[in-house]
Amino acid sequence: MTTPFQLTSIDHVVIRVTDLDVMLGFYCDVLGCSVERRRDDIGLIQLRAGDSLIDLVPVDGKLGSAGGAAPGAEGRNMDHLCLRIAGFDADMLRDWLGKHGIGMEPPGTRYGAQGDGPSVYLQDPEDNTVELKAALD
């Protein structure tokens, strides 16, 4: 069956967080996102990540509390977030992340929306897995 529409990209990912300031520091200062919009009245901070958004929702806010218990050892709030990046260089990424106290797994070739290409996995401050994948020209 053919749908009457075509999916083109990830629009946004919502991450429930327990420490908003630490998570903002990671996604903005380390990965280069910028705050696009804040809705403090409902507990929503939207970060620009290229063509997509990453929404941070504090677990103690109006939106976050609707999701139940905070993420922890017994379960995660997502499997992983994959961000496509231009200028992929594993050594540069290792150095940059290391300066921020963040480790990464060894690079590998993995399949994504643009086909096979290099990527690395790392953990954000609340132990969510983030994949950084090379944007293929």
- CATH code, domain with 124: 3.10.180.10
25: Cβ contacts below 8 Å, ≥ 6 apart: 125
pLDDT in tens, 119-130: 999 999 988 889
Q: Compute the average pLDDT of residues 61-75.
A: 77
Query: How far is the C-alpha of 136 from the C-alpha of 76, rounded, in Å?
Result: 30
Tell me the helix, strand and coil percentages in the chain, rounded to 5: 20, 40, 40
Q: Give domain status of residue 7, yes or no.
A: no
Q: Name residue 69's amino acid.
A: A
Phi, psi of 77 (to 5 degrees): -95, -5
Q: Is the pTM of this model over 0.75?
A: yes
Is pLDDT of 5 > 60?
A: no
Considering its fold, how many domains does the chain have in total?
Answer: 1
pLDDT in tens, 29-62: 999 999 999 999 999 999 999 989 999 999 888 8
Query: Which pLDDT value is given to residue 76?
Result: 72
Q: Give domain status of residue 73, yes or no.
A: no
Query: Are the C-beta atoms of residues 131 and 120 closer than 8 Å to each other?
Result: yes
